[in-house]
């Protein structure tokens, strides 16, 4: 075997993070663009302008989400089982919201009835805004601990409710996520459109950048001063077979900040988050949307890395039974499974990246209302 078991476990923590970042950066502008559709586009032609900047790419971008879900199932089966059992209704809400986006893209322009098109426009808003919000709420609950536990046979049981997930801190994290992706979507729309739509997108990009930076700072302050983190007191060897019941964990105030004190380089993650978001604000203001889009992507990367670094090595902490909290060391699949998945990543991810870049290059152009009118029967 090329890599030892401990290295494979750490590598897959990094790879799943990369997949989540890839999903947020690519599919994030789709969700953000749909969420802000009524704000940046006021007429039917303007809404078709915005939709046609996103619709040709959404299914390719969705590959990152599907891949991340598959990787989570194969790499961390205990996390997958506990999360999808306990957070069942939240997951269903995200999935049903995501259904609205492809159907809305395909069916919106099938009829010219304004009521028909307006209904599908709002379906697209829901399909973009709800997942963006729920993803942030999920991270907010992870940072507080999820109410699950294991019995002696390592069978998980969840003791929370859907509405308990909508607590104040989780909703604040939802605002971070929604504003982050709305900023990303607004910069994308600014970069790909003309005329009034471009101007409105620039205005709202600056609004969402400020909201994102402020809510990210507030969430970090709240985490530091008001939320207990988790600390491992003892555990088996990191290359041992996975069993979450063999360690001892306690909850300690400020524990989520310990990695930053122990490894100062990790402070680059929140700094990248703030720098990316504020860089997007400045660059979109001076009409450099391509560079603003790069900064927005870097801001997303920094914000997601901040959550990952804060929780490391925890993946799904338990508020009911802290010692049953899942970490990357005791929730992983076998070494053989992780090794096979690593080779799959090495082979297929470069293919996905090459195809993605080719698609964007082939369909790259700015779109305005006149383009929609000239191609009214061949576009979304």
Question: What pLDDT score does 157 carry?
Answer: 85
Question: What pLDDT score does 376 carry?
Answer: 67
Tokens 């993946």 — which residue? 315
Tokens 């089966």 — which residue? 77
Q: Which of 44-53, 80-89, 220-229, 280-289 has the lowest mean pLDDT?
A: 80-89
- Per the structure block, which two tokens stand in for 14? 């990094």
When pLDDT is averaged across residues 58-82 and rounded to a whole number, the result is 85
Burial class of 10 by CB neighbour count within 10 A (0 to 12, 13 to 18, 19+): middle
Domain 5-372 sits in CATH 1.20.1630.10 = yes
pLDDT class for 68, splitting at 50, 70, 90?
Answer: confident
Q: Within a 10 A sphere around the Cβ of 41, how many other Cβ atoms? A: 24
Question: What pLDDT score does 276 carry?
Answer: 96
Examine the pLDDT at 49 and tell me if it is beyond 80: yes
Examine the pLDDT at 346 and tell me if it is beyond 90: no
Examine the pLDDT at 41 and tell me if it is beyond 80: yes
pLDDT in tens, 350-371: 888 888 888 778 777 777 777 7
pLDDT class for 2, splitting at 50, 70, 90?
Answer: low
Examine the pLDDT at 171 and tell me if it is beyond 80: yes
The percentage of the chain sitting over the pLDDT mark of 70, rounded to a whole number, equals: 98
Q: Where are the alpha helices (DSSP H) in 108-251?
A: 114-144, 168-192, 195-226
Examine the pLDDT at 379 and tell me if it is beyond 70: no
Cis status of the peptide bond prior to 313, with omega within 30 of 0? yes
Question: What pLDDT score does 179 carry?
Answer: 96
Higher pLDDT residue, 300 or 344? Answer: 300
Asked if 57 and 30 touch (Cβ cutoff 8 Å), the reply is yes
Examine the pLDDT at 181 and tell me if it is beyond 60: yes
Examine the pLDDT at 180 and tell me if it is beyond 80: yes
Question: What pLDDT score does 368 carry?
Answer: 75
Asked if 284 and 209 touch (Cβ cutoff 8 Å), the reply is yes
**Whole-angstrom distance, CA of residue 319 vs CA of residue 23:** 28
When pLDDT is averaged across residues 168-175 and rounded to a whole number, the result is 96
When pLDDT is averaged across residues 373-380 and rounded to a whole number, the result is 67
Examine the pLDDT at 380 and tell me if it is beyond 80: no
Q: Which of 59-73, 92-106, 313-327 has the lowest mean pLDDT?
A: 59-73
**Domain boundaries of the chain, sorted by first residue:** 5-372
Examine the pLDDT at 1 and tell me if it is beyond 60: no
- Per the structure block, which two tokens stand in for 321? 């039974």
Question: What pLDDT score does 378 carry?
Answer: 61
Spatial neighbors of 169 by CB under 8 A, at least 6 apart, are 140, 143, 144, 219, 222, 226, 227
Examine the pLDDT at 201 and tell me if it is beyond 90: yes
Mean pLDDT (the chain) is 89
When pLDDT is averaged across residues 84-104 and rounded to a whole number, the result is 86
Question: What pLDDT score does 91 carry?
Answer: 86
Phi, psi of 370 (to 5 degrees): -65, -35
When pLDDT is averaged across residues 181-200 and rounded to a whole number, the result is 92
Question: What pLDDT score does 216 carry?
Answer: 96
């Amino acid at each position: 075997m090329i890599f030892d078991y401990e290295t494979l476990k750490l590598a897959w923590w990094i790879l799943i993070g990369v997949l989540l970042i890839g999903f947020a950066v690519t599919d994030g502008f789709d969700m953000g663009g749909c969420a802000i559709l009524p704000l940046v586009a006021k007429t039917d032609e303007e809404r078709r302008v915005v939709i046609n900047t996103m619709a040709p790419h959404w299914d390719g971008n969705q590959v990152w989400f599907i891949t991340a879900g598959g990787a989570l199932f194969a790499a961390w089966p205990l996390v997958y089982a506990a999360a999808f059992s306990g957070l069942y209704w939240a997951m269903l809400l995200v999935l049903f919201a995501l259904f609205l986006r492809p159907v809305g893209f395909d069916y919106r322009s099938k009829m010219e009835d304004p009521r028909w098109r307006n209904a599908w426009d709002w379906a697209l808003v829901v399909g973009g805004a709800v997942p963006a919000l729920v993803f942030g709420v999920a991270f907010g609950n992870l940072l507080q601990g999820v109410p699950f536990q294991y019995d002696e046979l390592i069978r998980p049981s969840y003791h929370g409710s859907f509405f308990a997930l909508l607590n104040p801190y989780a909703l604040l994290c939802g605002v971070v996520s929604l504003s982050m992706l709305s900023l990303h979507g607004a910069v994308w729309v600014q970069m790909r459109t003309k005329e009034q739509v471009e101007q409105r997108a620039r205005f709202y990009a600056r609004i969402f950048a400020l909201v994102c930076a402020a809510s990210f700072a507030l969430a970090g302050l709240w985490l530091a001063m008001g939320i207990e983190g988790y600390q491992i007191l003892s555990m088996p060897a990191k290359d041992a077979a996975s069993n979450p019941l063999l360690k001892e964990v306690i909850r300690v105030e400020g524990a989520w900040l310990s990695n930053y004190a122990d490894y100062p380089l990790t402070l680059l993650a929140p700094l990248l988050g703030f720098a990316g978001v504020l860089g997007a604000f400045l660059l979109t203001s001076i009409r450099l949307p391509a560079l603003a889009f790069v900064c927005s992507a870097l801001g997303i990367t920094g914000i997601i890395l901040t959550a990952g670094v804060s929780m490391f090595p925890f993946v799904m902490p338990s508020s009911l039974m802290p010692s049953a909290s899942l970490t990357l060391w005791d929730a992983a699949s076998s070494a053989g499974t992780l090794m096979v998945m690593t080779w799959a990543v090495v082979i297929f991810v470069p293919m996905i990246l090459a195809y993605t870049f080719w698609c964007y290059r082939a369909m790259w152009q700015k779109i305005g209302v006149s383009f929609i009118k000239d191609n009214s029967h061949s576009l979304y």
